[in-house]
Amino acid sequence: MHKIRFSGYEVSKIIYSFALNSTKQYSMKTSKSNLKQPIIFAKIIAVSIAIFLCASCDNGNGKRLAKAKNDPAGTYREYLSDIRRQKKLSIKELTGHLKQWQTLRDSVFLYLECDTLGRLHSTVREECEQVHDSIRMEFSRMVLSQTRTYKDILWVKEQISPHLEDKELHRAAETIRPFFASLDNQPVSQRNRQHILATYRTTLAETIDYGIHCMADLTTFIEKEDAVYRAFLSRLPDFDGENLSDITHDTERCCAQVFLAAERNDITYRNAMIYLAMRTNRRLIQNVRTCIDDICNKKVKTPAQAQAYIWMLLQPYSSLDGFCLALLSAEEREQLDMLASQTPDAFRELGRMLHPGDNRLDELPGMLMEAFIHTL
């Protein structure tokens, strides 16, 4: 991809600039991979479901939806003209425009897909795609027109999620939530790091060997893994230099076991998705809270550690998708907002440790939001 066209990739330039002076491998970076597996599955399922967002008819959006059937390219150009006239927008105003864009985009491209008789010339599709890219660039301009926050990123992702108003999904989550709340009652090992890692590896190996064949197996896996993971986080700085690639790999294999069980109809895909997404939410919150506490308590001492903590702090804003956000409880959502408000200070502390001076950290939330918009 060309960075000139996609300035959201400036995010990677900021992140990698923190680590220019260090080539040492730090084991906590593997936590990033541990979190990605259920997110990937959530995105696959979410993308595969044809859900169209509801939007108001403000600014003529309802009329545009009707016009799109007869003149998709013209309708899209008209919307682009309107967007170009927008200046600085609040996060709520920006989100409202994103919802309108999604609805109009779906209408335009759905009509093009349904043109099975080829009545529309191929140049119409090409024009619509070019206009689509231009609209995305205009949204990038609006995002970067003022300072954004980490709370803003969560708000945008949540509000434009197709699962936001899924009442059936919310009811299912509420029935499962007591199980995840009960995990806090499980004791955390106070042993040394060697014992913690040995227990972690044994837990994953036993799950892989036995497999997951029913809901009881799934909940047992999550319960045991949660306990060893919290023990791991309690000594996070102690794992500097430890090779945890096998734990990362085996965690992914355990998550794969869940979906193999769904393929065999041992559990439902719905339960597989919801349980793993809620597990991911819990781990992300645990990660960020641990990182911020460790930074405040001066436990991060080396550039390699700082680099790893940066990756972990970024996870909620780069990895959480609309499906996971829809499954957050009100308490979890409040915790994420609180952690988001503390994240800038944490980044500044890590930035001073790696590269004293101006690290453009205030621009990072806007760039992350811009990168997200370019995935829509």
pLDDT at 257 over 50: yes
- Over range 66-91, report the average pLDDT: 83
Q: What is the pTM of this model?
A: 0.77
pLDDT at 18 over 80: no
pLDDT digits (tens, 9 = 90+) for 184-207: 998 888 888 899 999 999 999 999
pLDDT at 166 over 90: yes
pLDDT digits (tens, 9 = 90+) for 86-101: 988 999 999 999 999 9
Higher-scoring residue by pLDDT: 22, 354: 354
Higher-scoring residue by pLDDT: 358, 285: 285
pLDDT at 117 over 70: no
pLDDT at 276: 96
* Structure tokens given for 152: 């803003």
The stretches of the chain forming alpha helices (DSSP H) are 10-17, 30-48, 61-67, 72-84, 91-113, 122-143, 150-159, 167-182, 193-210, 215-234, 245-263, 269-296, 303-319, 322-326, 330-354, 364-373
* pLDDT averaged over every residue in the chain: 81
Residue 64 binned pLDDT confidence (cut-offs 50, 70, 90)? low
pLDDT at 50: 28
Residue 39: Cβ within 10 Å count: 20
pLDDT at 242: 83
pLDDT at 374: 87
- Over range 267-274, report the average pLDDT: 95
Identify the weakest region by mean pLDDT among 124-133, 209-218, 222-231. Answer: 124-133
* Structure tokens given for 215: 């809901």
Residue 375 binned pLDDT confidence (cut-offs 50, 70, 90)? confident
User: CA–CA separation, 326 vs 81, rounded Å?
Assistant: 33
pLDDT at 36 over 50: no
pLDDT at 358: 62
Domain boundaries, the chain: 70-143, 162-358
For the CA atoms of 354, 360, 361, 363, the dihedral, rounded to the nearest 10 degrees, stands at -160
Residue 121 binned pLDDT confidence (cut-offs 50, 70, 90)? low
User: CA–CA separation, 134 vs 137, rounded Å?
Assistant: 5
Q: How far is CA 271 from the centre of its chain?
A: 20
User: CA–CA separation, 56 vs 168, rounded Å?
Assistant: 23
Identify the weakest region by mean pLDDT among 20-24, 262-266, 363-367. Answer: 20-24
pLDDT at 312 over 50: yes
User: CA–CA separation, 281 vs 185, rounded Å?
Assistant: 18
**DSSP label at residue 58:** G
User: CA–CA separation, 221 vs 207, rounded Å?
Assistant: 7
b or e along 82-118 (b: 16 or more beta carbons within 10 Å of the residue's beta carbon)? bbeeeeebebeebbbbbbbbbbbbbbbbebbeeeeee
In percent, how much of the chain has pLDDT > 70? 78
pLDDT at 67: 55
pLDDT at 171 over 90: yes
Residue 33 binned pLDDT confidence (cut-offs 50, 70, 90)? very low
Residue 111 binned pLDDT confidence (cut-offs 50, 70, 90)? confident
pLDDT at 22 over 70: no
Identify the weakest region by mean pLDDT among 39-48, 96-105, 145-154. Answer: 39-48
pLDDT at 28 over 60: no
Residue 359 binned pLDDT confidence (cut-offs 50, 70, 90)? low
Handedness of CA 349, 353, 356, 361 (dihedral sign): negative
Higher-scoring residue by pLDDT: 206, 22: 206
Contact 347, 310 (CB under 8 A): yes
Residue 334 binned pLDDT confidence (cut-offs 50, 70, 90)? very high
* Structure tokens given for 105: 């985009």
pLDDT at 231: 95
User: CA–CA separation, 46 vs 35, rounded Å?
Assistant: 18
